[in-house]
Amino acid sequence: MSISTGEQAVVEGVKKQLLVGGEWRDASGGRTIPVEDPSTGETLCEVADAQPEDALAALDAAVEAQADWSKHPPRERGEILRRAYEKIVERTDELALLMTLEMGKPLAESKGEIAYAAEFFRWFSEEAVRIEGRYAVAPNGAGRLLTMKQPVGPCLMITPWNFPMAMGTRKIGPAVAAGCTMVMKPARQTPLSMLALAGILEEAGLPEGVLNLVTSSSSGSTMSPLISDRRLRKLTFTGSTEVGRKLMEQASGNVLRLSMELGGNAPFLIFEDADLDDAVVGAMVAKMRNIGEACTAANRFHVAGPVAEQFAEKLAEKMSALKIGRGTEEGTQVGPLIDDEQRSKVDELVHDALGKGAKALVGAEKVEGSGYFYRPTVLGDVPEEADLRQEEIFGPVAPVYSFGSEEEAIAAANDTEYGLVAYVYTRDLKCALRVVEGLETGMVGLNQGIVSNASAPFGGVKHSGFGREGGHEGIEEYLETKYVAVNL
């Protein structure tokens, strides 16, 4: 199916060049990259393909704008964010359509992401005027200790394709609020949402050079000169643990401030006393939000032995009723995966588990035809040695395991290199608190299948990374502390 005239108009409405120092310009040599609609495999448009010299020009612009921007009154920085928040909300329908076209998720989910993305701007518009310091009498009574907060300086931001706008606003929001300038590089597959966002920030009055945007097909060679540039002060990355590790190595040479939001392998624990129907509702959200392509996606369901089979059957019933289709079609609940490679990886993980003895209750196959669709899948009797026990699935696949005791459940949940989020379903408050305290994750959903909230600190531990986005903690990532020893 080809894209409609209305869809084409939304794509055409976005500027597709690089934004450098307030000027929209082509990449060196006029190079471009195609952007594909994953539900058809067709090319939607072409965007600029930045080369290393373009990225360096973007950093030059960020460095040049930094001194003035850091002196900009906090109230005005906040008001820019507030205006941008309002514009995003006003344009929800068109931004959601754009996101669905480049990323595939159903329109209703894209609207959900637009609301979530905008919320970071509203939250940080309020945080901009609450950057505080301390004044204290030194313990010996003689001197005074003054502590102040200042912007970190020019930041490099690298974001993934799965949440094309929200992963950007939760970095741009606090950076603007704190007074940092930035170079943003969105994922190659989903640049359009970020390009549209840059246009909105311009309209909201963000001064030239504060946000510079580069789209590129060769992220490694384009970004590395920036990471080693002494003028850069911070790298904030959301993406896979594998790429995060490489970037940390590169950044160590330049001793950069880092925030790393990396992969996940979220356990979803259901105890025997839990309301099973409620747990199924939470499981559907935790598994199927974003077609399973979320770092917070429930990657494995650990269910108390006596209710495991019943849970798996109920979940399979819900999963088999989901409507698969192009995200723009009315009623679609499951869109395509991002590309064929991602879909093949999901299929390989499913077949590895089946080959090792798991049973498919529903799904376990690709959908024939154009686009990268995969059937929602529930796997029972999954052996511990199946690869998807340890690997991030990033697709609509729910493996169900059973546990005996509370200790066994906690041990199974923690048996992973990752530590982003866990979900716990129980009606027993004491059990809930014991389990929550025992979990090695940065976040826990207690009797709910979603944790994302702009006013809460989002982030992981272990190989899921470090640093927090959102909440009061979010702005701290963009501030340095300066201590002044005052001689009275």
Residues that bind ligand NAP (CB under 6 A): 158-163, 167, 185, 187-189, 219-220, 223, 238-240, 243, 246-247, 261-264, 295, 392, 420, 460, 464-465
Q: Give Cβ neighbours of residue 431 (< 8 Å, ≥ 6 apart).
A: 271, 273, 406
> What's the token pair of residue 131?
């950057």
Closer residue to ligand NAP (CB): 159 or 402: 159
Closest approach, Cβ 215 to ligand NAP, in A, equals 9
Chain position whose Cβ is nearest to ligand NAP? 239
Cα–Cα distance between 343 and 337 in angstroms, integer? 6
Alpha carbon of 228 to those of 28, 225, 433: distances in Å?
21, 5, 44
Closer residue to ligand NAP (CB): 240 or 447: 240
Q: How large is the C-alpha radius of gyration of the chain?
A: 23
Closest approach, Cβ 49 to ligand NAP, in A, equals 10
Closest approach, Cβ 143 to ligand NAP, in A, equals 42
Closest approach, Cβ 345 to ligand NAP, in A, equals 10
DSSP code per residue over 423-473 = EEE-S-HHHHHHHHHH--SSEEEES-S----TTS-B--EETTEE--BSTTH
Closer residue to ligand NAP (CB): 307 or 393: 393
Closest approach, Cβ 239 to ligand NAP, in A, equals 3
DSSP 115: H
Note whether 350 and 382 are within 8 A (CB).
no
Closest approach, Cβ 52 to ligand NAP, in A, equals 12
Catalytic residue among 180, 295, 469, 477: 295
Phi then psi dihedrals of residue 36, to 5 deg: -105, 150
Note whether 465 and 260 are within 8 A (CB).
yes
295 tagged catalytic: yes
Closest approach, Cβ 116 to ligand NAP, in A, equals 12
Closer residue to ligand NAP (CB): 91 or 188: 188
What is the b/e burial string over 377-390, where b = at least 16 CB atoms within 10 angstroms of the residue's CB? bbbbbbeeebebbe
Closest approach, Cβ 207 to ligand NAP, in A, equals 25
Closer residue to ligand NAP (CB): 262 or 422: 262
Q: Give Cβ neighbours of residue 231 (< 8 Å, ≥ 6 apart).
A: 59, 63, 154
> Within 235-361, where are the H helices?
241-252, 276-288, 305-320, 340-355
Closer residue to ligand NAP (CB): 227 or 435: 227
Note whether 443 and 421 are within 8 A (CB).
yes
Catalytic residue among 261, 293, 392, 469: 261
Report CA 226 to chain centroid distance, whole Å.
22
> CA nearest 309: which of 384, 398, 401?
401
Q: Which residue has the tokens 């009574």?
A: 141
Closer residue to ligand NAP (CB): 80 or 175: 175
Note whether 52 and 338 are within 8 A (CB).
no
Cα–Cα distance between 249 and 227 in angstroms, integer? 10
Report CA 373 to chain centroid distance, whole Å.
22
Q: At what angle do helices 92-103 and 74-90 cross, to 10 degrees?
A: 80
Bridge partners (DSSP) of residue 266 are 298
Note whether 387 and 352 are within 8 A (CB).
yes
Closer residue to ligand NAP (CB): 223 or 361: 223
408 tagged catalytic: no
Burial degree of 144 (CB within 10 A; 0-12, 13-18, 19+): middle
Closer residue to ligand NAP (CB): 371 or 467: 467
Closest approach, Cβ 247 to ligand NAP, in A, equals 6
- Catalytic residue numbers, as ranges: 261, 295
